[in-house]
Amino acid sequence: MASSKSSRRAPSTEAPSPDTLRVILGDQLTHTISSLSDVDAGRDLVLMAEVDDEATYVRHHPRKIALVFSAMRHFARELEERGLRMRYTRIDDPRNSHSIDGEVERALGENAVQRIVVTHPGEYRVLRYIEQWASRFGVSVDIREDERFLVSIAAFGKWSSGRKTLRMETFYRQSRRDTGVLMDGDSPAGGQWNYDKSNRRRLPADVEPPPIPVFEPDDVTRTVLTLVAARYAGHFGELEPFDLAVTRRDALAALDDFVAHRLASFGHYQDAMKTGQSALFHSVLGFYLNIGLLVPREVIDAVESAYRSDRVPINAAEGFVRQVLGWREYVRGVYWTAMPRYRDLNALNAKRRLPSLYWGAETRMNCLAQCVSQTRRSAYAHHIQRLMVLGNFALLCGIDPAEVNEWYLVVYADAFEWVELPNVTGMILFADGGYLASKPYAAGGAYINRMSDYCGDCHYRVGHKTGEFACPFNYLYWAFLDGHREALSDNPRLAMPYRTLDRMDSTRRDAIRQDARLFLARLDDGECV
């Protein structure tokens, strides 16, 4: 890989001074990225930079920083092998300005560049500074569509315009039709659009999920691990053992492994949780999709092809495709059509500070303890852990969306604002008032008990509704509905729980309110709950 030093050699007749600077961000590690589609090896310079601004604007989990830096270094080496001229700034380069802006400015100062080409970034914050490059640096700036997504921002904008609330299912069906994925002519493969009903099984005790592939760090990754350990020591999370894929080749191996060994059961056990098993039958591909080592279309095609060749059932293939073609594209569309106002939404007026248990402080609630410690170790939790344990608790306790958003952006190695923010603000906190989801995903302890083995080892009793040993999710759930009656009671999807609440006698309702008040006061006082 070229260092920034070697890329500033005096131009020779073979290598004229570059006139175009192609900027590749840390989540754009895709050989077919639009910013390189017409790259000219003779005239262009490709800039990549490891910078503290991106690693610390929130204090990312060290595994995420190592994943991004190591994948960037491997990708730069591959580009160099393609014959491209690289200007790569390492994190420990003493000349590093530690911002993308600063690195672009330095490159422009040392090369007679007329034009910058970059693919649309994944975050509004980054787009804002890229949009200033033209006036700031006096060069033309070509911001290109990120064609790795199947639905463009413009197409989503057209679809969503005029709708007060959006629904993923409608978007998803349209996307299936538009792309032909899992379609038999005009009909959905297998006859149904959605197989969710078959996808809610608890994991039987005798089902052992296959291991997730591990990738041994090579010398490049080892160097990065040493740097990350030294520079970001105070960040939440464990760096080692580091076993993630950092190259496209290994990410493709992870995809093959998922399709061969876990996809068939993905649907059935999608919602299940088990102590000591972080991924179960999930793909663990979000890390690689989100930095570009894999592109969504190839992942979807691999899954569809497994279904077409009878290797996996339709409920598995459809369940998975819905996540990638449905949810992933949908939340991205919501993000870009609703930013920047989306970041400040707080429809339920939630104000509580994020409790220290999210950062690993002791808790007697076993489900939370398990999910937080797994997150600290691996920078990963599967969807139901994020949604129905960690997210559900944040919703029921009324935690400030800004604090919850920051936590999710910090702790998961697949977290980038375009996907993290709508999932937190829209899906778990209902802070957008129902723009993204039709109802809050609030639930009592019974749901967690049904889908996991956490409750058996808990200090609390999931069957107790109130009282000293009652599962806090139980009374917090009813207290949440009670407290947000004005905002939520008209929601048809909540009609049944509100009827149940209204049928409770006043003694029970008072006990719920009292237990919730005491619990939240103890939480605010920093007591172990």
Element housing 88 (H / E): strand 85-89
Picked from ligand SF4, ligand DLZ, ligand FAD, none, the partner binding residue 331 (CB below 5 to 8 A depending on kind) is ligand FAD
What single-letter amino acid sits at 37? S
Q: How many CA atoms lie within 13 A of 385 on its CB side?
A: 30
Q: Which stretch binds ligand FAD (CB under 6 A): 72-80, 169-177, 308-316, 420-428?
A: 420-428
Decide if residue 380 touches ligand SF4 (CB under 6 A). no
Nearer to ligand SF4, 339 or 471 (CB): 471
Token pair of 472 as six digits = 């806090």
Nearer to ligand DLZ, 63 or 386 (CB): 63
Rounded to 5°, angle at Cα 57 from 400 and 66? 115
Q: How many CA atoms lie within 13 A of 178 on its CB side?
A: 14
Binding ligand SF4 by CB under 6 A: which of 431, 471, 479, 511?
471
Decide if residue 445 touches ligand SF4 (CB under 6 A). yes
Whole-Å CA distances, 283 to 240, 303, 453: 21, 11, 21
Element housing 46 (H / E): strand 44-49
Binding ligand SF4 by CB under 6 A: which of 36, 48, 379, 448?
448
Which class for 179: exposed (0-12), middle (13-18), buried (19 or more C-beta within 10 A)? middle
Distant-in-sequence, close-in-space partners of 161: CB < 8 Å, separation ≥ 6: none
Nearer to ligand DLZ, 25 or 448 (CB): 25
Q: Which stretch binds ligand SF4 (CB under 6 A): 49-57, 69-77, 101-109, 443-451?
A: 443-451
Task: Return the exposure string of 347-372: e unless at least 16 CB atoms fall within 10 Å of the residue's CB, then b.
Answer: bbebeeebbebbeeeebebbbbbbbb
Picked from ligand DLZ, ligand SF4, ligand FAD, none, the partner binding residue 50 (CB below 5 to 8 A depending on kind) is ligand DLZ
CB of 258 closer than 8 Å to CB of 299: no
CB of 403 to ligand SF4, least distance (A): 21
Decide if residue 431 touches ligand FAD (CB under 6 A). no
3-state secondary structure of 511: helix
Footprint on residues 324-353 left by ligand FAD (CB under 6 A): 324, 327-328, 331
How far is Cα 72 from Cα 49, in angstroms, rounded to an integer? 9
Token pair of 523 as six digits = 């939480």
CB of 182 closer than 8 Å to CB of 189: yes
Distant-in-sequence, close-in-space partners of 144: CB < 8 Å, separation ≥ 6: 34, 35, 37, 117, 118, 119, 120
Site size toward ligand DLZ (CB under 6 A) is 17
Decide if residue 449 touches ligand SF4 (CB under 6 A). yes
Decide if residue 282 touches ligand FAD (CB under 6 A). yes
Picked from ligand FAD, ligand SF4, ligand DLZ, none, the partner binding residue 365 (CB below 5 to 8 A depending on kind) is ligand SF4
Token pair of 236 as six digits = 């939440």
How far is Cα 48 from Cα 264, in angstroms, rounded to an integer? 39
Q: How many CA atoms lie within 13 A of 74 on its CB side?
A: 27
Nearer to ligand FAD, 84 or 203 (CB): 203
Number of H helices, E strands in the chain: 24, 7
Which class for 129: exposed (0-12), middle (13-18), buried (19 or more C-beta within 10 A)? middle
Place of tokens 């709508």: 422
Picked from ligand FAD, ligand DLZ, ligand SF4, none, the partner binding residue 121 (CB below 5 to 8 A depending on kind) is ligand DLZ
Q: Which stretch binds ligand DLZ (CB under 6 A): 79-87, 120-128, 198-206, 483-491?
A: 120-128
Decide if residue 290 touches ligand FAD (CB under 6 A). yes
CB of 337 to ligand DLZ, least distance (A): 17
The one-character DSSP state at 422 is: I
State the sign of the Cα–Cα–Cα–Cα dihedral 16, 21, 26, 31: negative
Binding ligand DLZ by CB under 6 A: which of 18, 62, 122, 472?
122
Nearer to ligand SF4, 40 or 527 (CB): 527
Decide if residue 120 touches ligand FAD (CB under 6 A). no
CB of 376 closer than 8 Å to CB of 278: no
Decide if residue 460 touches ligand SF4 (CB under 6 A). yes
Footprint on residues 41-80 left by ligand DLZ (CB under 6 A): 49-51, 54-55, 60, 65, 68
Decide if residue 74 touches ligand FAD (CB under 6 A). no
Q: Which stretch binds ligand FAD (CB under 6 A): 15-23, 171-179, 214-222, 414-422?
A: 414-422
CB of 291 to ligand DLZ, least distance (A): 8
Nearer to ligand DLZ, 25 or 107 (CB): 25
CB of 312 to ligand DLZ, least distance (A): 32
What residues line the site for ligand SF4 (CB under 6 A)?
365-367, 445, 448-449, 454-455, 458, 460, 462, 471-473
What residues line the site for ligand FAD (CB under 6 A)?
279, 282-286, 289-290, 323-324, 327-328, 331, 382-383, 386-387, 391, 408, 412, 414-415, 419-420, 423-424, 427-428
What residues line the site for ligand DLZ (CB under 6 A)?
25-27, 49-51, 54-55, 60, 65, 68, 100, 121-123, 126, 416
